[in-house]
Structure 1
Amino acid sequence: MDVIVRPTPELKGEIGALSSKNYTTRYLLVAALAEGESTIYFPAHSEDSDAMRRCIQDLGASLQEDDEKAVITGFGKHPRNVKELNVGNAGAVLRFLMGIASLSEEVHFVNTYPDSLGKRPHDDLIEALGQLGVEVEHNEGRLPITIRGGKPQGGKLMVSGEVSSQYLSALLFLTPLLEQDSEITVTGDLKSKVVIGQTLEVLEQAGIVIHAAGDYMHFRVPGNQVYQAKTYTVQGDYPGSAAVLAAAAVTSSDVTIRNLSEDSKQGERAILDVLRSMEVPLTHENGDVRVQGNGKLKALEFDGDTATDAVLAMVAAAVFAEGTSRFYNVENLRYKECDRITDYLAELSKAGARVEERQAEIIVHGRPEGVEGGVEINAHYDHRVIMALTVVGLRSRQPLVIKDAHHVAKSYPQYFDHLKALGADVEWVK
């Protein structure tokens, strides 16, 4: 389905932040890897987190859920021998489970999104699993992928961090279950280090011991560990909230988002610092973020590596800033659901934004007067692109039509409902 986004001068109201997708998928996984019953309060519901729910059940976990919590009985280090897994379009779920699947004799990951996840590379993880004695059959590093494992061996291994931190996270979930101790060395420049901090936080909560160097480039992992059944509470999601905050920043607004922890380890919390730097009136107290926007923003420069999933929303806000903004160290955006640099900037240009790309940079020449809009744009099946383009549509002179906007459900199914509740003029069309 498509969405029409019409110019909306004013947003007002309160919403609760979505539960974190990143934490939910990690908690679901460690609960499945535990022997016993774990409880997760306020888990996220999205296509990605539902993919993890579906796959851990296929692998032998039991799951019961109500409106408040999910109760999971795990399979420990003995996943069920299942011939096929379907992760949908969830890259992190695929990569995490490629590691866990190596504990099984053979698992085939199907390719149901050939134009999105099917295009994304996984070579670095495939190579690392090979160092553990796991045989991987693949299509030039891409789906479909078959894992032939059974008895992966710990030891010394190396993994590149150049494309994604998810490869390293996959190994950190797997190696504590192996009989041998492991040493993991990261080669190249590790992307999204802050997300590794989230993985380590969840592993520690699950009773796993990992000795990490301060720069996250070397890890010692004792073997023969056991994941403990625990109770977890999922915090509010900064990546999804970033787009709503950007929408409030570019309009006349009085918008409050609840349940965004001040001490969260989510790198996307930087959206608050970015908006303050852009001189957007903003307060953050007792988990409530309040934006009282006046539509006036100043340009800035920002290192996007620490807040990857909020960069597109920041760029959308910068489209209307006074001056030229620069977002650098963002090359890993090219290896997401789409090329979030080339593809996204092409759509922004259609709407009337003045943008330039470098291999690892996005340059935005702000247009405080707004952009023309009045075009149909392609979201490239990417939830972050959909959300960010919506922000631009709110300040366009003519409506934007965003194709295939239903893919926002990958991480934030309620996104358009929340915007409408705040007064945004958005409409679903077939």
Structure 2
Amino acid sequence: MNQLLSSATDNLKGTVNVPGDKSISHRALIMGSLAIGETLVAGLLEGEDVLNTAAAMRALGADIRKDEDGTWHIHGVGVGALHEPEGALDMGNSGTGARLLMGLISTYPFSTTFIGDASLSSRPMKRVTDPLESFGAEFHGSENGTLPLTVRGTGMPVPISYDVPVASAQVKSAIMLAALNTPGTTTIFEKKPTRDHTERMFSFFGVDTTTTPKDSGRVITVTGQPELTARNLTVPGDPSSAAFPVVAALITPGSDITIRNVGLNPDRTGLFITLKEMGADIEFVNEREDCGEPVADLRVRHSRLKAITVPQDRAPSMIDEYPILCIAAAFADGTTMMRGAEELRVKESDRIAIMVKGLRACGIDVEEFDDGMAITGSREKPAGGAVIETHLDHRIAMSFLTLGLQSEQPVTVDDGSVIETSFPIFRELMNGLGANIHPAGENK
């Protein structure tokens, strides 16, 4: 176990760049691999999850390499030209990578086996595989649809119309990727809008796709078998990664930090909106657009937060940020209510149960619900002093390390190595701002 320990700090100061957006990085690799010509990608997140997707796309036929200056070169093979990999595709801890690639290859006439680590192998896949079977693909594995799972793609896919039963950008995106190699038009109905990174990336590469508002949701269409042309792009900084230094600065007196080049996709800003409603001093500076995505620099200063009830319909736009929101809520006056987030039960871990257990161990008052929790915060520092079981979940680990920056006693996470999957420079970046995060046992 690689235990990490976080101790109290005086304040955070400085200007930093967080790693590239993980969702956009996955999609940039996939779409570049399907485009004719050379796609150049700057700012790609180089965490384990994305690197596993790069390795998988190489195994499927793309030529992908990285320059000394950090630019990634992708020579694509064209839609319809992927080939059967020689071995299983190991997706490590990445549910996003696994589900997107299951969609992509479900409409190719070959078989592929997906494997992953213990965490990924415990996560359900049926909500993705069920609609993909409608294209004609077959899936073979355990009864509950967990990895290892073999996909037998179809050589004669048929377009589908699918009503997504639960708000999930991964399910939607898997269907859209399956539609790329399917003749005709595939239609997807979303009851609740989810992140639109796939739609934006499809449009950026020239896929004929439309998005139409309908009632409270959206209708998305994809016309299959396009000829994609290589494009150059810069991946915006990941707002999910920016969330950790943002909340750390908000709860640490005297803090004033700037985070450059953060993606502000409207489907990803739920946390920042929620924090501002709680009284957070967050300023968007130098707003602009890159590769179809809105971007800005964030200036964040320590703030006295107040509790709110988070609107349930905001959950899809901040589903990955609930763990770090829990930390902000622990420092807000009053009881912060978070409901409508049942998807947290099936993320990298059961994030509701694990956050509740960890918060209570650190002396924080929390009530658990099937679809969320209520956290009663205080102006007083929480006790801390606990060793948190992360269950191989990187966001759990980073959230409790953030809590330790303002706890009476240090907070330890049982395995900090899982952070490598999404934010490999987390400790370096945070300590550069003034945090005190280090391996347990080191004297600091």
Distance 1:260 1:223 in 2: 32
Distance 1:226 1:184 in 2: 22
Letter in 2 for 1:61: A
The residue aligned with 1:398 is: 409
Distance 1:228 1:29 in 2: 13
Within the alignment, does 1:108 sit opposite 2:107 as a pair?
Answer: no
Query: How far 1:249 moved relative to its partner?
Result: 0.5
Return structure 1 stretches of 4+ with deviation > 6 angstroms.
Answer: none
Distance 2:20 2:186 in 1: 33
Distance 2:360 2:188 in 1: 42
Q: Residues 185 and 375 of structure 1: is their aligned pair in 2 closer, same or farther, counting only changes over 3 Å?
A: closer
The secondary structure found in structure 1 opposite 2:12 is: strand
Query: How far 1:138 moved relative to its partner?
Result: 2.0
The residue aligned with 1:206 is: 205
Distance 1:244 1:152 in 2: 48
Q: Residues 268 and 133 of structure 1: is their aligned pair in 2 closer, same or farther, counting only changes over 3 Å?
A: closer
Contact 2:164/2:188 (8 A) holds in 1: no
Within the alignment, does 1:125 sit opposite 2:128 as a pair?
Answer: yes
Query: How far 1:27 moved relative to its partner?
Result: 0.7
| 5+ residue gaps, structure 1 | none
1:140-186 deviations in Å (ceiling 9; x for gaps): 21111101114141233425341632111011122132123333345
Query: How far 1:356 moved relative to its partner?
Result: 1.2
- How high is the TM-score relative to the length of structure 2? 0.90
Letter in 2 for 1:248: A
RMSD: 1.8
1:5-37 deviations in Å (ceiling 9; x for gaps): 111231112211221111111111101111221
The residue aligned with 2:52 is: 51
The residue aligned with 1:257 is: 259
| 5+ residue gaps, structure 2 | 287-295
The residue aligned with 1:141 is: 145
Contact 1:89/1:117 (8 A) holds in 2: yes
Letter in 1 for 2:24: Y
The secondary structure found in structure 2 opposite 1:4 is: strand
Contact 1:268/1:310 (8 A) holds in 2: no
Alignment of 1:378-389 (within 5 A): 378-389=389-400
Contact 1:95/1:166 (8 A) holds in 2: yes
Q: Residues 220 and 269 of structure 1: is their aligned pair in 2 closer, same or farther, counting only changes over 3 Å?
A: closer
408, 427, 436: which one pairs with 1:425? 436
Distance 1:408 1:257 in 2: 19
The residue aligned with 2:332 is: 321
Within the alignment, does 1:367 sit opposite 2:378 as a pair?
Answer: yes
1:261-286 deviations in Å (ceiling 9; x for gaps): 5xx31533333332322223332211
Letter in 2 for 1:260: V
282, 285, 289: which one pairs with 2:298? 289
Contact 2:167/2:194 (8 A) holds in 1: no
Contact 2:36/2:77 (8 A) holds in 1: yes
Within the alignment, does 1:309 sit opposite 2:310 as a pair?
Answer: no
Contact 2:132/2:178 (8 A) holds in 1: no
Contact 2:138/2:153 (8 A) holds in 1: yes
Q: Residues 41 and 210 of structure 1: is their aligned pair in 2 closer, same or farther, counting only changes over 3 Å?
A: same
Contact 1:159/1:168 (8 A) holds in 2: no
1:344-394 deviations in Å (ceiling 9; x for gaps): 211111111111121112211112201111121111111111111112111
Alignment of 1:42-81 (within 5 A): 42-66=43-67, 67-76=69-78, 77-81=80-84
Distance 2:257 2:156 in 1: 51
The residue aligned with 1:267 is: 267
Letter in 2 for 1:293: H
Range with bigger deviation, 100-109 or 273-282: 273-282
Alignment of 1:89-104 (within 5 A): 89-102=93-106, 103-104=108-109
Contact 1:308/1:330 (8 A) holds in 2: yes
- Percent of matched pairs sharing the same residue: 28
Distance 2:267 2:220 in 1: 21
Query: How far 1:315 moved relative to its partner?
Result: 1.4
Contact 1:176/1:223 (8 A) holds in 2: yes
Q: Residues 152 and 313 of structure 1: is their aligned pair in 2 closer, same or farther, counting only changes over 3 Å?
A: farther
Distance 1:429 1:169 in 2: 40
Distance 1:309 1:266 in 2: 15
Contact 1:268/1:309 (8 A) holds in 2: no
Distance 1:329 1:166 in 2: 18
Letter in 2 for 1:204: S
Query: How far 1:210 moved relative to its partner?
Result: 1.5
Q: Residues 426 and 278 of structure 1: is their aligned pair in 2 closer, same or farther, counting only changes over 3 Å?
A: same
Alignment of 1:207-222 (within 5 A): 207-215=206-214, 217-222=218-223
